[in-house]
Amino acid sequence: MVDQLPNLGREDEMLKAMGLQNMEDLFSDIPSDVRFKGPLPLRPPQSEEEILSDARRLLGANISMGSRTSFLGAGLYRNYIPASVFQLVTRGEFLTAYTPYQPEVSQGMLQAMWEFQSLISELVGLPIANLSLYDGSTAAAEALTCAVRVHNRKASQPNTVYVSSLTSPDKMSVMENYCQGAEITIKTLEHNDDGTLNLDSVKDAAGSCGVYLEQPNPLGVLDEGLTKTKEIVGEHTALIVGVQPVSLGMVEAPGHYGADIVVGEGQPLGSPVTAGGPLYGIFACSKPYLRLMPGRIVGRSVDVDGKEAYCLTLSTREQHIRRHRATSNICTNETLIALMGAMHMALLGPDGLHDLAYRNAAACQKAKEVLVETPGVKIVHDAPHFNEFAIEIEGSAEACLAYLDDNGIIGGFDLGRWYPSITNQILITTTDQTTQQDIEALSAQLSMWASHQGVSA
Amino acid sequence: MSHLFNHNGAPNTGYSQPPSIETATKPSIPAGLVRRQRARWPRLSEPEMVRHYTWLSKRNFGIDTGFYPLGSCTMKHNPRVNEVIAQLPGIADIHPHQPEHHLQGLLSIYYEMQHMLEVCAGMDQVTLQPVAGAQGEFTAVRCIQEYFRLKGDTKRTKVIVPDSAHGTNPASAAMAGFEIVEIPSRVDGRIDLDALRAVADETTAAMMITNPNTLGLFEADISEASKIVHDAGGQMYYDGANFNAILGITSPGLMGFDAVHFNLHKTFSQPHGGGGPGSGPIGVKAHLAEFLPGPLADRRAPTAGEQSTAVDEFWYHWREPTHSIGKVQQWHGNAGAVIRCWAYYRRYGSGLTTMSEHAVLNANYLRYAIHKAARDEGVDHLFVDGAETDVAKHEFTLSMQPAKEQFGISAMDVAKGLLDRGYMAPTVYFPLVVPECMMIEPTETESKDTLDTFAQHFAEVLKVDAETLHAAPTTTPVRRVDEVYAARNLCLRHPFDD
């Protein structure tokens, strides 16, 4: 504490200059009946060294994914972040700046965010991207409310949106919280047994305000059917596609198959998993959505000398101007994490992104090739996958994951936590960090598990 | 200028990666989903990338660059050990869906943070899930909404907000579906109890208010305001944006509030990163606790089998509140921010009171020093206090209205003049109730010398003639940016070929 307060020991000097007697005089305006009595009942202050030591002990007691063999993903993906990203993002000029309200001294972050918008726009195939929302779930939720704002007047199903029934309940819960205030009804779209979207059910969504689908879907399935959905729902229903951004190194940009809004969890580009936050939500859209979209956006402009300059623009959508009529309540966003994303994208370039996507796809392919041969393991969907796929095992998924855990493997995600009627399926996630040895170790342990369950090899 | 998109290295260059895993058959993408054209991203080598972002950083102003008296934003120093801690694999490489026995350290820190914030706020239960102050506001009003719905009290459709409130207050309440009732402030910016009495009724769900208010004044009538709202059957919501003034001195609980949000990125120094990330935990009284988003960190005595894995005498676990509104972020909030703020809290512990005392000391001293320097330089007739008061809290407002009327010098002109002298400008034109407002918050981490020098420079800016100030800034990377041009000639991305 003493190393954080420059004026410790100078209080009297300062008070005297002001004509005050003591610190208490500074708080004379606070009625005594609302004053704290006595000191805060909290622990004593620590030094930097003591804090670091406690942090190492406590955080060291956590089991990091890198210290095990891990197949846990389900929306977050372990990746490698180039060293230069960390080095640059912790520069104090970026790290300790506020929202760029004074553009003349914030050109660095403003330009970096304008470049981020450009990178995301190209990645997803849409002309407009904002400079981040909180995470993939809030980006999806804000996309739904944005779609209603844009389409409600002409909708034959006003205040109604459709969401894939595979959507994770946690994300769905965020959507429900964001939608209920505007009295938006969320209906679900069904899927076929092979994991693909039931395109017949999409017909029900025509005339609604928006449709939310993911590519790859929550079970890792790459679904070609999504390319036909815009035609089915029509011009006056927003097609919103949630993406894993790395996949777009190989997979077509949704903006090129009719998506009006693309959202996603930006984390795999630039950010560690960090126990689920801070992350950054991608939000991109086509022109009709621009003036009703959420979040901050940077425009390129000029200064009084005609010199290229950047500033926040279209602020009249935002809470600090529009107050209760704002398109969103968002103020603080995830700029610094988006900056990490921009740096990672800048390093990768178009070919690097393709290679990164290929490494992810190859790891997934390899895992499928090995697990399809593993006794007692069935791959649930005979479909192309990216990053992850569901397997069915003997016995309960929960018990199997506990068994794998006992043997040093973080085995994946128990799909029963999303879909309560399923008890024996695990979502296996691979990334560019997955090795052949990891996959073989998983296969060996799943094989052992199967034999414990009475399956013979 | 350095432009990212001007870097066009040869194809198949870029960041080197290890070879992919060998597969028996090539990974397949359905034919209709194969990407036809690669993203038109630039191609940079590492040296070019490092130089580009270093160049950009030099065109940006942070707390590390200089004094940052941006009112309402609490731009205090960010201790660097917090960054070291946040990169440890025990937080950076953790998946939120890992089982509890993998996360005992993280859960214990969550528990400790919940407890600390409960103590500081005088609340019964805290959740760390909301990732920003505005999201905290939204989460809390959602909890209040569900609380009334469960009671069958469906008439409470309105939220009262003073006209001096942060814009997020009405925006968050409206997002949850409430009708906003704005009440005027008194001329000194304080709450008008008669105006409140006139609107508080059986349709009131809540009142949202910050204290100290946005003029940096403590609302001495706050207990009476709480009573008026409670008597009408409504809930009191505390906007914690200005918490830095009151830690250990008073608390929302003592003032009669039912719910509160924290801006950890302000009060507990998560670096603001040019706009985020933040963290916006909320605390509530017991009657609202079971409506919070889940999961919450909780603890119990460990079983025999758990003892070897436990980090202390407790076993930490997640708990789902019984009437939870559900989630507002997909995972467990901004865990990385929570860890940094935990490290920050540990630096102060019970000394958080001293932190707030120094925040208030510095604000009052700077207010005094600016007035004194202005008198010495003969420019004290160019501004007045935004509100009459003996003492301010962590921030204060000045009105440049006299300068505007006498010489056409606006608050924005003064702000730009300060940029030329190497400072971040104070917040301007907020709160709206103060004409030509400058809102100044020095924080506790600035030395007396910095405050004295800034006060002197502030007075010197006011001696500059209007024409020169209209042309300011002249020493910054660019001069005044044309925001109207930006809005009329929208250029929101690199033009590529289009």
- How many Å apart are CA A136 and CA A174, to the nearest integer? 10
CA distance B88 to chain A (A): 7
DSSP string, B24-39: SS-----GGGB-SS--
* Interface with chain B: mutation pick from A93, A353, A418, highest number of B CBs within 10 Å: A93
**Helix (H/G/I), strand (E/B), else coil: B15:** coil
| Inter-chain CB pairs, A–B, below 8 Å | 687
CA distance B343 to chain A (A): 6
Which residues are within 8 A (CB) of A409 and not within 5 positions of it... i.e. 6 or more apart?
Answer: A68, A69, A70, A71, A441, A442, A445
ipTM above 0.90, yes or no: yes
List all residues of chain B from 54 to 93 with a beta carbon under 8 Å from chain A. 54-65, 68, 70, 73, 75, 77-79, 81, 83-93
Mean pLDDT of chain A: 97
- Whether B421 has its CB under 8 Å from any CB of chain A: the answer is no
Sign of CA dihedral B127, B128, B129, B133: positive
Q: What is the identity of the amino acid at B180?
A: I
Nearest to B97 by CA among A123, A406, A70: A70
Q: What is the identity of the amino acid at B244?
A: N
Q: Are strands A377-379 and A388-393 parallel, antiparallel or unpaired?
A: antiparallel
Edge-to-edge, what's the strand order for the sheet holding A413-414? A377-379, A388-393, A425-429, A413-414
Q: Which of A96, A114, A177 sits opposite B63 (nearest CB)?
A: A96
User: Per residue in A324-342, pLDDT tens?
Assistant: 888 889 899 999 999 999 9
List all residues of chain B from 159 to 198 with a beta carbon under 8 Å from chain A. 166-168, 170-178, 180
Mean pLDDT by 10 residues, chain B (498 residues): 95 90 95 96 96 98 97 96 97 98 98 98 98 97 98 97 91 96 88 97 97 93 97 98 97 98 96 96 98 97 96 98 98 98 98 98 98 98 94 97 97 98 96 93 98 98 97 97 96 87
CB–CB of B493 and A346 under 8 A? no
Burial of B339 (0-12, 13-18, 19+ CB in 10 A): buried
- Whether B105 has its CB under 8 Å from any CB of chain A: the answer is yes
Q: Which of B20, B83, B476 sits opposite A358 (nearest CB)?
A: B20
Cis ω for the linkage preceding B277 (within 30 of 0):
yes
pLDDT at A382: 94
The crossing angle, in degrees rounded to 10, of helices A11-18 and B352-377 is 40
Residues A366, A431: contact at Cβ < 8 Å? no
CA distance B490 to chain A (A): 6
**Any idea which residue has 């916006």 for tokens?**
B280
- How many Å apart are CA A122 and CA A350, to the nearest integer? 10
Helix, strand, coil percentages (3-state) for chain B, rounded to 5, are: 40, 15, 45
pLDDT at A457: 59
CB–CB of A276 and B95 under 8 A? yes
Q: Distance from CA of residue B376 to its chain's centroid?
A: 36
User: Per residue in A25-66, pLDDT tens?
Assistant: 999 999 999 999 999 999 999 999 999 999 999 999 999 999
Q: Which of B33, B42, B177 sits opposite A346 (nearest CB)?
A: B42
Which residues are within 8 A (CB) of A382 and not within 5 positions of it... i.e. 6 or more apart?
Answer: A194
Helix, strand, coil percentages (3-state) for chain A, rounded to 5, are: 45, 15, 40
Q: Cβ atoms within 10 A of the Cβ of B377, count?
A: 15
Paired tokens of B159: 């939220």
The C-alpha torsion from B66 through B71 and B77 to B78, rounded to 10°, is -120
Paired tokens of A301: 């402009």
- Whether A85 has its CB under 8 Å from any CB of chain B: the answer is no
- How many Å apart are CA A141 and CA A168, to the nearest integer? 13
Q: Which of B251, B275, B427 sits opposite A296 (nearest CB)?
A: B275
b/e string for A151-163 if b means 16 or more Cβ within 10 A?
bbeebebbebbbb
Residues B239, B219: contact at Cβ < 8 Å? no
- Whether B311 has its CB under 8 Å from any CB of chain A: the answer is yes
Nearest to A203 by CA among A231, A223, A179: A231
Chain A residue numbers touching B387 (CB-CB < 8 A): none
Backbone dihedral angles phi then psi of residue B418, each to the nearest 5 degrees: -70, -35
Q: Which of B15, B53, B247 sits opposite A88 (nearest CB)?
A: B53
CB–CB of A103 and B448 under 8 A? no
CA distance A187 to chain B (A): 18
- Whether A274 has its CB under 8 Å from any CB of chain B: the answer is yes
CB–CB of A301 and B50 under 8 A? no
Residue of B nearest to A413 (CA): B97
CB–CB of B331 and A99 under 8 A? no
Nearest to B105 by CA among A119, A64, A177: A64
- How many Å apart are CA A34 and CA B246, to the nearest integer? 11
User: Per residue in A263-296, pLDDT tens?
Assistant: 999 999 999 999 999 999 999 999 999 999 999 9
Chain B residue numbers touching A14 (CB-CB < 8 A): 361, 365, 448
Chain A residue numbers touching B473 (CB-CB < 8 A): 104-105
Edge-to-edge, what's the strand order for the sheet holding B125-127? B125-127, B282-284, B259-262, B235-240, B204-209, B158-162, B179-183
- Whether A156 has its CB under 8 Å from any CB of chain B: the answer is no
Nearest to B261 by CA among B220, B329, B206, B209: B209
**Any idea which residue has 């104090």 for tokens?**
A92
Q: What is the identity of the amino acid at A212?
A: Y
b/e string for A250-280 if b means 16 or more Cβ within 10 A?
bbbbbbebbbbbbbbbbbbbbbbbbbbbbbb
Q: What is the identity of the amino acid at B414?
A: V
Q: Cβ atoms within 10 A of the Cβ of B13, count?
A: 14
Cis ω for the linkage preceding A278 (within 30 of 0):
yes
Q: Which of A119, A314, A434 sits opposite B487 (nearest CB)?
A: A314
pLDDT at B165: 87
User: How long a stretch of residues is chain B?
Assistant: 498
DSSP string, A360-423: HHHHHHHHHHHHTTSTTEEES--S-BSSEEEEEESS-HHHHHHHHHHTTEE--EEGGGTSTT--
CB–CB of A95 and B22 under 8 A? no
Residue of B nearest to A12 (CA): B361
Q: Which of A111, A277, A364 sits opposite B329 (nearest CB)?
A: A277
Chain B residue numbers touching A63 (CB-CB < 8 A): 98, 102-103
Paired tokens of A96: 């300790």
Cα–Cα–Cα angle for B58, B61, B62, rounded to 5 degrees: 115
CB–CB of B326 and A366 under 8 A? no
Q: What is the identity of the amino acid at B187?
A: V
Residue of B nearest to A167 (CA): B330
DSSP string, B107-175: HHHHHHHHHHHHHHHT-SEEE----SHHHHHHHHHHHHHHHHHHHT-TT--EEEEETTS-THHHHHHHH
Q: Which of A52, A250, A331 sits opposite B81 (nearest CB)?
A: A52
Backbone dihedral angles phi then psi of residue B191, each to the nearest 5 degrees: -65, 140
CB–CB of B275 and A91 under 8 A? no
Q: Which of B21, B86, B415 sits opposite A436 (nearest CB)?
A: B21
List all residues of chain B from 423 to 452 with a beta carbon under 8 Å from chain A. 424-425, 427, 430, 444-448, 450
**A401-405 mean pLDDT:** 98
Q: For chain A, first and last CA: distance in Å?
A: 63
Residues B135, B171: contact at Cβ < 8 Å? no
CB–CB of B15 and A82 under 8 A? yes
**Half-sphere exposure of residue A132: CA atoms within 13 angstroms, side-chain side:** 33
Q: Cβ atoms within 10 A of the Cβ of B18, count?
A: 11
Residues A338, A132: contact at Cβ < 8 Å? yes
Paired tokens of B370: 């600016």
DSSP string, B319-365: E--TT----SSSSSS-HHHHHHHHHHHHHHGGGHHHHHHHHHHHHHH
User: Per residue in A175-229, pLDDT tens?
Assistant: 999 999 999 999 999 999 999 999 999 999 999 999 999 999 999 999 999 999 9
List all residues of chain B from 135 to 154 with a beta carbon under 8 Å from chain A. 135, 137-138, 142
- Whether A174 has its CB under 8 Å from any CB of chain B: the answer is yes
CA distance B383 to chain A (A): 19
pLDDT at B432: 85
Q: Cβ atoms within 10 A of the Cβ of A2, count?
A: 11
Residues A201, A176: contact at Cβ < 8 Å? no
